[in-house]
Amino acid sequence: MKARYGIALTGAGISTESGIPDFRGPSGVWTLNPEAERRAYLRYREFMENPKGWWENTLARPGHNFSLGDIDNAMPNQGHYILAELEKLGIIKCTITQNIDALHEKAGTKNLLEYHGSVAKLRCLSCGSRFRRDEFDLEKLARENRLPPTCPKCRGLIKTDGVFFGEPIPGDVAEQSLEAALKCDLMLICGTSAVVYPFASLPRIARQRREVTIIELNAEPTPLTGEGVSDYLLRGKTGEILPRILEEVKKLTR
């Protein structure tokens, strides 16, 4: 098969190799601390009911990097770099990630859809504009009692770009992801459990087309494996499997 439009879907499994914990794995953040998961389900409502208070509480927390662990200092691993290389070679046209850690961006991926947002960005809830975190002096706004931050384009409410439970997937990302799933003839699914919706619907949407080949790279089988959505399952770490795929691609393109 000669793929014309390959895409990659990535989940927490690709970033655990960079030291970022997952949520639902055997040693996941929420597996070990169910109370943290319960609180996560309340964040969107708390933000919408009192955005000023939410920002004040968030900025008062040490580190307040809006995510898990020392995520700002995390570095991409082989998996991230190989996907960026496959993009440069024209094999992967688009990477759609569940991860908010910005590691694909750090690794050099250009055509990137961050389905659940990015820890490195803020987003306007009115016009959808995204901004780098350092475009706002959040601590100064807090000192001057000018929270929540507002959009410089439309004066709308600014929140972190990460998508909270109960918050709709931003329309631009949802639409572009759906278009890619409908268009692709090759889909690499890297390190996702395929149980979080609507992201998990993308492989199933792609499967409706006979022309698509779907390959899972995962430590364990997923519902996609059991349902016959994927054509192949390559078991192991993405950082070990993807380099082998790149080697084969280079052999075929010599």
Distances (CA, A) of 136 to 9, 119, 226: 31, 14, 46
Strand pairing category for 121-124 and 158-160: antiparallel
According to DSSP, the residues that pair with 214 across neighbouring strands are 187
Cis omega (within 30 of 0) for bond into 170: no
Neighbours of 54 (CB within 10 A): 19
Q: Report the catalytic residues.
A: 116
Q: Tell me the C-alpha distance between 180 and 208, whole Å.
A: 13
Q: Assign 57 to helix, strand or coil.
A: helix
Give me the long-range contacts of 61-70 (CB less than 8 A, separation at least 24).
Answer: 65/119, 66/119, 66/160, 66/162, 67/100, 67/101, 67/119, 67/162, 68/20, 68/21, 68/29, 69/19, 69/20, 69/21
